[in-house]
Chains A and B, each alone.
Chain A
């Protein structure tokens, strides 16, 4: 069963606007972690943000925030004030705790295009 779902293969956003990239997950493990990575055209995988399942507040890192809705099992990435350099592929990932060990599962990704 697919455990990480990113339903948006591609998205466009106007420069300086905010954009939300969707991610839903499926797990029965009460302990898990959620990650977002950015992959620019150069190919490297860049860690952006992390949310633990027991964290009470949404994670934020600069212009990135993670909209964590535990009951809905969603972990959407919000990028505020988009920049041209934000154009990239974005991957949502989940690490299950007790039952999954430290294996991290990735979604198929969303390609974001920022328009000038």
Chain B
């Protein structure tokens, strides 16, 4: 395992409020990723990072922003949460761009 933790593990919030999810890894992996999982869609990439302060958009990035100020932490922010962002969010890391991604335990977010 890559020693990946996510916080919080569960969160309920209201529409329009800001939300930040945290991913923390202890393996010194260079690459980090945020995915969302919805029924019938598998996992879809939101944003990814290829180094400190280096990030880029994934397939479903609208409404999300990320930051990576340290190798071990990758933050996902919903500036103004909407009900369509109710989902399970997974963080993943990999040591190299072509290496296997290992996943955190996930965060279940409900936006009312």
Contacts and interface: CB of A to CB of B under 8 A. Distances in A.
Chain B associates with chain A: yes
Interface of A: 4, 33, 35, 37, 43-47, 50, 91, 93, 95, 97, 101-109
26 contacts: A4-B42, A33-B98, A35-B100, A37-B103, A43-B106, A44-B106, A45-B92, A45-B103, A46-B103, A47-B100, A47-B103, A50-B100, A91-B42, A97-B98, A102-B48, A102-B50, A102-B97, A103-B45, A103-B48, A103-B58, A103-B59, A104-B101, A106-B42, A106-B43, A107-B42, A108-B42
Contact of B98 (A95, A105, A106): A95
A105 B45 CA distance: 8
Interface residues of B, number: 25
Interface of B: 31, 33, 35, 40-45, 48, 50, 58-59, 88, 90, 92, 94, 97-98, 100-103, 105-106
Nearest to B92: A45
**B contact patch SS:** strand
Nearest to A108: B42
**A contact patch SS:** strand
